[in-house]
Amino acid sequence: MIELAGLSKRYDETIAVENLSLEVARGELVVLLGGSGCGKTTTLKMVNRLIEPTAGRVRIGGRDTQELAPHELRRRIGYCFQQVGLFPHLDVAENVAITPSLLGWDVARTAARVDALLREVELEPEEFRSRRPNQLSGGQQQRVGLARALAAEPEVVLFDEPFGALDPLIRDRLQRSFQKIRRELGLTALFVTHDMVEALLLGDRIAVMNRGRLVQVGTPAELLAHPADDYVAELMETPRRHAEIVDRFLAPTAREES
């Protein structure tokens, strides 16, 4: 569904992304994982042409994205990011309805889609439809951002650390809601994060990037069991170490209960 072929981006002498090739199957979520400056967000933005590649091709559904005007391409791709970017002068329903309105959907279809998506992200339409962004919590704003990204029934959705600015409890709840929604809707998605645990929880496969290059692609189990190099092994060590610490805390309780 998404094909990146030899994708590269250079800024003068700086290489942001180098010769990256990756495929995402229909209904699959692939996580782009790596530290700051590894090229994962640049890669994501080349998919919807917020950044133009220096070399290589992006195809969605078999079609080269260069064949479409950037604004037309972006209306076909959902995009959800950390800063949310809700329009403060519009209410929740108007924010969610932006892309369907631009695509010429009729009022009844748009309203039905908005209400259905608000329910999907656990915001009752009757309560939240008419609120302004400044009347929402951070978690509620992020839910509206997710609904907006899905509003026009896009073939592909891009996520750029959408839960990164939230506190741990809200983040965990949104991750669980997101897993449910994406399975129900069969989303095809690229998801950027630097959080190893989030990558392991959400990704069907994980594509690890380092210094602009793709160093390993595999399922969470494959990366944990067979890291391709020291960098991937170091990334995978963090969630492994956290799990071991939790197990040590739980072990005395298990012994007492037995």
Given pLDDT bands bounded at 50, 70 and 90, which one contains residue 247?
confident
Does residue 73 have a pLDDT over 70?
yes
Q: What is the spatial order of strands in the sheet that 77-81 belongs to?
A: 77-81, 156-160, 189-193, 29-33, 205-210, 213-218
pLDDT, tens digit, 9 for 90 and up, residues 90-112: 999 999 999 898 889 999 999 99
pLDDT value of position 190: 94
Q: Residue 257 — very low, low, confident or very high, per pLDDT cuts 50/70/90?
A: low
Q: What pLDDT is attached to residue 251?
A: 67
Q: Is the pLDDT of residue 141 over 80?
A: yes
Chain segment 172-181, per-residue pLDDT in tens: 888 888 888 8
Q: How confident is the model at residue 50 (pLDDT cuts 50, 70, 90)?
A: very high
User: According to the model, what pLDDT value does residue 248 have?
Assistant: 77
More confident residue, 174 or 127: 127
Average pLDDT, stretch 123-128?
Answer: 92
What is the rounded average pLDDT for all residues in the chain? 88
CA neighbor of 47 nearest in space, from 63, 59, 36, 38: 59
Q: What pTM, to 2 d.p., does this model score?
A: 0.85
